[in-house]
Structure 1
Amino acid sequence: MNSWAWIGLSSIIFFTLLPFVNKKNRTKAEMQKAIVTVGTVIGIIIAVSFFHVNYIAALLFGLLAVILLDRKTYTKKRLSIYGLMVLAVGIAAFAVFRDNPDYVLKHLKENPQSSSLFVAENGMPFIAYHSDVVRPLASTVKILIAVEYAMQVDANTIQKNDTVSLEELNRFYLKNSDGGAHEAWLNIMKSDGKIKNNEVSLHDVAKGMITYSSNANTDFLIGKLGINSINERAKALGIEKHEEVYPIVSALFIPEHVQQEDIDEKELIKILERMPIDEYRSLSTMLSQHMKTGMIKTTDATFNLSPALQKVWSDRLIGASANDYGKLLAIISNDELPNVAAETIRDLLEWPMQLNQDNQKHFAYIGAKGGSTMFILNNAMYAQNLNGDQYELVLLMDDLNIMEQLLISNNRHSFESKLLNSKDYRMKVLNELAE
């Protein structure tokens, strides 16, 4: 949970218990109601913090529990009111959560200034909608980092079985900054028995970067592989518009680093926005080194940037065009990398074939990596169906509000699935985006 969630839940507990300062309010009925409310809030905290339940879902279930445990609920008037509320919520939920791939198409059409789509079929570009525009990649940039990792494995510069201590990795972990990705990866490592002497293999670190999207693993690998090596790899592969790579997590400390006592958040945002990008990257790299050496102790820090400051961070994330990543995916899909590198990168990216066995009924292989922030929702994938047809698909969307993020997240998979599986739908998307 972020700081706002903690503040909200703590406020509920505080204002629930506040009336009991007055002895007159300490009736049995009121105390029972307070116990239910406080118990429900504690249950939400446990569900989110320890079992990684979605915060909104936990909050809704908590509200439902409070209603059902209230004796006054079971009067005709209350039942009628709650019945209407449930009906309204049900209608709204149907509108939001129903499968509607055309919502993504509609968003693309209405937001050309912040959206890109690239689709290639059997090596030929089929849809190129604003696909030459550089947009923030978020975690999609991890594909390039994974390629550099694979190339260094191929060159014997690094070894897959090299070990990395969790202590070293966790220096790059900022709590609550990655949606639980790093913790989810660690839990899998523990359950699979892959942590030995508090160490994991370098290849499992790379897998954690791709499959679980651990930002801590990403910043560790950026340092391990070398920023210059990653940037030079992009150039060597002909990725023309790719912006220079820099550490992701450490950039979250930049606002605190430049903060001055006499400036408010608005002025801080102006300072960050005016900062030259080269200076911003250098500062992020320096702060990442401070994290590595322990000068910045992430165990004492928690991610709590306001949405406005997160927007600055999101806007300045490493960028590239959809064309760039379509080309990079084609290089991987066509096995244009050296043999060991090709095998290694496929092992990292083709996790959808392992985690969802239904994909094996339709595809020979699928490789993918998404990327998101509060404002970004991206995905890059390559696939070959059982007929031998190859596809590369890159979807980049920026400047999303909360509702757009929710609706696109809910419908993106079905949109991509129809694009890959239906020639008619590809033609429909092509024609509508050309209008």
Structure 2
Amino acid sequence: MGNVIMGHADLISNKERGNSLFLIVLILIVAVFLFGFFGLAAFLKRRDRNRTVDDLTRFMFSHPERFSLTIIQNDQILLNHNGSKMFPLASTVKILFLLAFVHEVRKNQISFNDTVSIIEIDKFYIPNTDGGAHDNWKSKENIGQTVTMKEVLIGMMRYSSNACTDYIYLRVGKDNIQKIIDKYLPDNHTPVFSINSSMLVAPYLKKYKKKKTKEISGYMKEMKQKYFMDISGETFDALVHGKAAPLISSLPSANHIEIQKEFTRKLPSSSSENYASLMYRLGTGDLLSEVEKGLLDEITGPPNPQAENRIWYKGGSTLFVMTSAIFKETASDSISLAFFIEDMNRLDMLWIDHVYQPFLQKITTEPLFRQQLIADLKDKL
């Protein structure tokens, strides 16, 4: 009997040792995996931090299909790589919102000096969706309880506040913004809508269409553009009337990266040749009066402009695209450019984000860099 008990005990002991050994091996495997994962993450972060403008130019040579760049100087198109290719614009489309506002001022429908309570702007604010743009505008511009429309436009253009943008969209009206597109960019431009409220389409689908989070990206991918825009209109109305809180609160749970990718693809889209041409015409032509150009200097130019130079800029980005349109004028040159780049896998966008602005700075301010880049792109692509 004792031998039976001892044998049974040995079996239990062996089983426990086996389980313990398995657990130790499993822990070691997990530890090695975590060490490797975080080690790789640290390496990639360090590598990305050391990327330069030269890395971006090499990326452009290696992936010519993933960017478009149009450069116009002194009435000549110097480069038009993938100029007609359509890209999601992100916040660069806000240029058209500003132009629509200028046209409404001409018709005496609105004024740059009109005032509005900041409460009316803040009701369009969706937390954690604009990279701090709205808060930066309020703090750096010392925004009080009442703001002028000019200050709201600065919030939209210089700081890229989406809340300011939605308020301009409300005051100017979708139809009037669309008229600007039809007038100035009749080709290769998809219809405009509220890009701020469209971020609430995913939680709308989750709440009202009972879609599970894992289903939403696929559903959005197959969704007709008009349906997406219609829902964006409903969520915009919810923001206007203070009824969007349930959608805003559920946004974090309906904001998976695949959903954001499909959201990006639904945004208003156009081409670099469209936006480079528009910026050049605005700066050098008679589309704007000299007074209006002066106002654009104040609204979309740098906070402390150089007296001898004029520079207008608007850029935009999502996790998957970066876009920009620029006009610069000096005593000797007029130059415009539009540079759009996409990375739907997001493997490169993490580091491109760090060098994108330095690249734009070099291409607009350093003639030798610009000339060499144009020559290299024409030669290699």
Residue among 262, 266, 269 paired with 1:316: 266
Q: Secondary structure at the match of 1:108?
A: helix
**1:379 corresponds to which residue?**
324
What number of residue pairs does the alignment pair up? 337
CA distance in 1, matches of 2:186, 2:298: 22
Q: CA deviation at 1:234?
A: 1.7
| Residue 112 (structure 1) shift | 3.0
Picking from 256, 262, 287, the partner of 2:203 is: 256
**Sequence identity percentage:** 25
Give the match for residue 218 of structure 2: 270
Q: Could you tell me whether the CA contact under 8 Å between 1:239 and 1:328 is conserved in 2?
A: no
* Local SS of the residue matching 1:301: helix
**Structure 2 residues without counterparts, runs of 5 or longer:** 1-37
The change in CA–CA distance for 1:307 and 1:406 in structure 2 (over 3 A counts) is same
Residues 124 and 167 of structure 2 are in contact (CA less than 8 Å); yes or no, is this contact kept in structure 1?
yes
Deviation by residue 1:90-122 (Cα, 9 ceiling, x = unmatched): x87774334622222222223333311111111
Residue from 278, 282, 295 that aligns with 1:344: 295
Distance (whole Å) between structure 1 residues aligned to residue 248 and residue 336 of structure 2: 42
The DSSP-based 3-state class of the residue aligned with 2:65 is coil
Task: Indicate whether 1:433 and 2:377 are aligned.
Answer: yes
C-alpha contact (below 8 Å) 2:200/2:248 kept by paired residues = no
How far off is 1:263 after superposition? 4.6
**What secondary structure sits across from 1:288 in the alignment?**
helix
**1:212 shift after superposition:** 0.8
Give the CA deviation at 1:142: 0.8
Residue 100 of structure 2 is aligned with which of 148, 162, 168?
Answer: 148
| DSSP 3-state at the match of 1:244 | coil
| Separation (CA, whole Å) in 2 of partners of 1:236 and 1:412 | 31
Q: State the shift of 1:152 in Å.
A: 1.7
SS at 1:393 equivalent: strand
Q: Corresponding residue for 1:392?
A: 336
Cα distance in structure 2, aligned partners of 1:267 and 1:384: 49
* Cα gap change, 1:331 to 1:302, in 2 (>3 Å): farther
Larger Rg: 2
Query: What TM-score comes out, normalization by structure 2 length?
Result: 0.80
Alignment pair present for 1:325 and 2:272: no
Q: Is the 8 A contact 2:238 2:244 kept in 1?
A: yes
Amino acid at match of 1:218: T
Per-residue CA distance 1:304-347 (angstroms, 9 max, x = gap): 11211111111111111001101110122115224243333332
When the two structures are superposed, what TM-score results if normalisation uses the length of structure 1? 0.71
TM-fit CA distance, 1:130: 0.3
- Equivalent residue, structure 2, for 1:245: 192
The residue number in structure 2 matching 1:291 is 239
**Structure 1 residues 92 and 286, CA gap change in structure 2 (3 angstroms):** closer
Shift in CA distance, 153/262, structure 1 to aligned 2, threshold 3 Å: closer
The letter of the residue matching 1:264 is: K
Could you say if the C-alpha distance between residues 296 and 433 of structure 1 is closer, same or farther in structure 2, counting changes exceeding 3 Å?
same
**Amino acid of the structure 2 residue aligned with 1:205:** V
Listed one character per residue, the Cα deviations across residues 232-252 of structure 1 (whole Å, up to 9, x for unaligned) are 112212452121110012111
- Among 29, 50, 58, the alignment partner of 1:106 is 58
Q: 5+ unaligned residues in a row in structure 1: which ranges?
A: 1-84
